[in-house]
Chain A
Amino acid sequence: MILLDSTQTLSAVRRSLETHVLGVLDDSFARLQVLAAMKALDDVIDRLQRGDPIDRANERVEAGLRSLADSVRGESPGFAESIDSLLSSAASVDQPRDRARVLGEGNTELIRRHDPASRRLVDFLNGEAATVTLEDSTWMCQEAIESLQ
């Protein structure tokens, strides 16, 4: 398959499913599986072209944490130092999903301290979750979701 790159191959698979499989399927459950598979392929193609969204999420979370640490350093120096330490730990992890795990576990610990700055961290993470939703939910298969509602 050296003639085609991965995106081109997956795009062909997607076209095949849409053209040759979906049209002849009568079974509603099987149709949902094919529709969901096409959406999953869209997502994989997007990741191949734009990179893993977890990388972008990690970057945003780390930038937000740096900004939060700087803004609370006067009122909550211990909290700011803990954020610095978390960022330092995360920086030593190469794999994006492992890095997200370190950040997630560290943020949970920070929130549980009930420092005055914890509320701001919660608000930031809720905002970040909204950003991820906007970026990451477009590939969901609406037909699959509707079938369950």
Chain B
Amino acid sequence: MASDGLLDVERVERYLSEQVPALEVRKVNAATRFPAGLSSLSCRIDLLTEQGLRTVVIRAEPEHGVIPPYDIVAEYELMFRVSQGGLPVPEMLHLEADPEVFGTRFMVMSYLEGEMFRSSDPRVEADAALAEQLKFHFVEMLARIHLFDGHGLPLFTDAAEAARAEVRACRRRLAETQVLPNPALEHALDVLEANAPPGQRQVLLHGDYRLPNLKWRDGKLVGILDWELARVGDPISDVCFTQTVGIGACSITGDLLDRYLDLTGFDVDDQRLAYYQLLEMVKGTIIGLAAAKDILNGGSDLRLLSVAGLAASAVPVVGMLEQSVERVEAR
């Protein structure tokens, strides 16, 4: 694979020495791929610099992936603006926008030390105090993201148009990636297109806000990772993501939802909740189904098979949610 060069210690050492002089690299000790994640390729690069040992991360557009098209340049620029705004993200160190250099475009960022948790993590399930601590900071940080207005992303005419744009993106992805036609999903997209609810505002959405994309130290949230699905839209979209595709210890429901509404001053209603739950499920399902196409296109990561299977198994759930949207619309 072309991007394998990013794991070539000597090539990376030469590149960083020449192109990122601020790092003052003396030697690259190791380059290893992070096993988690299915889309962007992330490598841990352990360095010896003039100041001592340091770790950075190279994040690259993948040759194969489930969320095409990838745009690492947009992700870099957004993360840069987000970091300038005081949200905890890795320090952006360098962008390589020429795909010829290593066979793919990539960015270099600092490595954040910290602990990561899975959505349903036994450590969290076994420790009620830890769970409460994580939930508190989880919802507080989502509120901060949603209240951050320096993101620089273009707004739509209104939140409903933002939702319809997301539905259109889903349609494109489905058309480009589906192996067999899926009438239930097509119908769900039709329902979503016809029923986009008016929203009070458009905010920066992370798009993949869940525990595995967050880093923690001493119970504090110190890093928000994986911004490749970020966009603008109705804030309830991110909330509904935590209730569906991103479901887990920090799902924002009940008291946690009340806290989110208190922190943001936003409101929510059944219509938008039902709508965005369906949209997030459809999106997640389409992303998952794209894994099968990725395999057909030459992908070799066999986790893709299971992801495609999981996505296919979500279709009946999507059907149930779709009925709830129709019930809400019929009132």
A interface list, Cβ under 8 A from B: 28-29, 32-33, 36-37, 39-40, 97, 100-101, 104-105, 107-108, 111-112, 122-123, 125-127, 129-130, 132-133, 136-137, 139-142, 144-149
Contact = CB atoms under 8 A, between A and B. Distances in A.
A33 B120 CA distance: 22
B309 A140 contact: yes
A104 B180 CA distance: 7
A104 B306 contact: no
Contact of A133 (B38, B212, B301, B312): B312
Contact of A122 (B187, B301, B305): B187
Given A104-B180, A146-B118, A137 B309 contact: yes
A148 B315 CA distance: 19
B307 interface: yes
A125 B309 CA distance: 18
B114 interface: no
Given A37-B302, A111-B187, A145-B306, A97 B312 contact: no
A107 B118 CA distance: 38
Contacts of A136: 309, 312-313
A129 B35 CA distance: 31
Contacts of A29: 33, 35
10 contacts: A100-B181, A105-B181, A108-B181, A108-B187, A122-B187, A122-B319, A125-B183, A129-B315, A129-B316, A147-B35
Contact of A40 (B36, B305, B313, B316): B305
B38 A101 contact: no
